[in-house]
Amino acid sequence: MKDKALITRALLDSIIKLNPLVMVKNPIMFVVEIGFVITLILSFLPQLFGNSGVEPWFNITVSLILLFTVLFANFAEALAEGRGKAQANSLKQTKEEVIANVLKENGKVEKLSSSQLRKGDIVVITQGEMVPGDGEVIEGLASVDESAITGESAPVIKEAGGDFNSVTGGTLVISDEIKVRITRDPGESFLDKMISLVEGAERQKTPNEMALSTVLTSLTLIFMIVVVTLPFFTNYLGFQIDIPILIALLVCLIPTTIGALLSAIGIAGMDRVTQFNVLAMSGKAVEAAGDINTIILDKTGTITFGNRMASEFIPVGEAKSEELSYWAALSSLSDETPEGRSVIKLLKERGTKIDEIMTDGGKIIEFRAETRMSGIDLANGRKVRKGAVDAIKNWVRLQGGHIPTELAEETKAISKKGGTPLAVAVDDKVYGLIYLKDTVKPGMKERFEQLRKMGIKTMMCTGDNPLTAATIAKEAGVDEFIAECKPEDKIDVIKYEQQQGKLVAMTGDGTNDAPALAQADVGLAMNSGTAAAKEAANMVDLDSNPTKIIEVVSIGKQLLMTRGALTTFSIANDIAKYFAIIPAIFMMAIPEMTMLNIMRLDSPLSAILSALIFNAVIIPLLIPLAMKGVTYKPMNSNELLRKNLTIYGLGGIIVPFIGIKMIDMLITFFI
């Protein structure tokens, strides 16, 4: 039912697009429309341009064929646009007015409609409530259902601080409570931008598409000059070519097939990216993805999960594993950071009983950047600390304690594995280390191997030390890595690659990734990331899956291949039309031209009509290929050229010969 409605709407739009003000944007099809108007006038006023040697039925037939040629071209574009509008309508259904709990400066909560919210407003959102607008979590932690936006059913954790604090209007809070600072005024939200982009109202042609349009327009102009000057030569030879036949010749000479499908190919390419849950800000980004040579990937949250989780407890000195677990639990019970929660989770998984009464009466020591430690001062006077190894060592020395010799060895061993060590100490004694591991996302190595087969180099940028970076790089399977990388270093790497004549893609999710995302030819931001990253990028992955860049690259290459394939086919099938229509025009006055009628078409008029009908019919037959795209398989440029010439070049010559001959036989049979 949905496809039927889509086709019905596309048929109506194809008629609306006959407006000359719309058609002039496609010069090739505009020429065909002008030809339709002229032949239509000649059908009823044959004397308007002098005596005509052709029957009125021929003029009417030619005008109808030209009309359908234009309609088929409009239908292809309208169908591609219709898919985008259908996706936009489904997004609009998720957009609804929500009552927001706005926190005022006096501490009171006022209920306002989401359309009344302004940038900077603070809203409180509790379990079961919709997020009223785009914003950033400034307090609390909650599980959020983003399926209305991303289509992903699994909820995601949003928390204050870090790179996972961005929330999108229209999503649902399914647990806990958060305070959110609104970052967008009404009409400027991410969902509004998605709707606008998916509708494609402001779709601009890419440089490649503009270059091809220029070539096709130039060919059209050249053939127009040829056709306009042709009567002067035929008059010299002693015969006259009627205007309808000249128009038919022009329409068959100009590249109408690719001219009719060019816009549809570009729109369909953007739609295919959207179907993979990637929002492209422009067709240029999709096209550029097809020519990418290098991909720069941020490590945290992109290649790895981002939150370092406790995976092992390593006692040092005379401490026992049970003692380390006990003190690690005490230091983490009141620690609401992801690392602190992961310690408690690991202990519970190992069957360790945790009694929260142990911390009663104690003073919580929160983590601070200056101390790089957190912990608790117990009611019995004992002090428990957990934090960076060097910070804990200094603290223990101040308490008059000593440092176990194996602490340095175990710390180095954890760093070599790509992990982060947290030391646990009580009073003047170090009990051991908590091994925090940043896990590489599943399937990354296989996906990077796919990119390698495409001839694309992968490069990981991370702020980690060289030992950790090397371990993660090896586990993930990237080609190169840059350790201790600052935001400006990422930009320098991208600029260096671009200076070598390469196109660069960048994936990231943090505010520190924003400058590099903006500098890259293709910037793919994770939807789970910060608003700054999404603003800087020209693509947003709604699923927050960095390996999605492979699909984006494939679609970009598919778009370029489809355009090249159909251009090859369009130019090649003109050859068959030349052999059909050129002999038909001249053989009445020059009998020797009959030898060029290699298809043995029945008559000059049937030859002209057969070529025109084939020229019109081939457009709707190629619409599925333009919409779906040519199947992409990794191969070098020489193989690709050979494939294009063999399948679409040779096929573009053979198919019209067969098609025009069959149409000629049908015309001869019925007339």
Which residues define the annotated binding site? Answer: 335, 339, 367-374, 386, 509, 513
Per the listing, tokens 């959020």 go with 144
Helix residue spans in 278-388 (DSSP H): 283-289, 321-332, 338-349
Contacts 24+ apart (CB under 8 A), 34-39: 35/66, 35/247, 35/250, 35/251, 36/63, 36/66, 36/67, 36/69, 36/70, 38/243, 38/247, 39/63, 39/66, 39/243, 39/244, 39/247
Contacts of 104 (CB under 8 A, 6+ apart): 110
Give the CA dihedral 161, 164, 166, 168, nearest 10 degrees. -150
Separation CA 409–CA 413 (nearest Å): 6
Separation CA 466–CA 457 (nearest Å): 20
Q: Is 134 a catalytic residue?
A: no
Query: Considering 298, 438, 464, 664, which one is annotated as catalytic?
Result: 298
Token pair of 647 as six digits = 């399948």
The DSSP H or E segment spanning 638 is helix 637-643
Separation CA 496–CA 8 (nearest Å): 51
Rounded alpha-carbon distances, angstroms, from residue 107 to 102, 139, 211, 266? 10, 15, 59, 52
Separation CA 149–CA 169 (nearest Å): 9
Token pair of 629 as six digits = 């795209």
Contacts of 210 (CB under 8 A, 6+ apart): none
Q: Judge residue 545's burial from the number of C-beta atoms within 10 Å of its C-beta, 0-12 exposed, 13-18 middle, 19 or more buried.
A: buried
Question: Which residues are part of a known binding site for ATP?
Answer: 335, 339, 367-374, 386
- Residues tagged active-site: 298
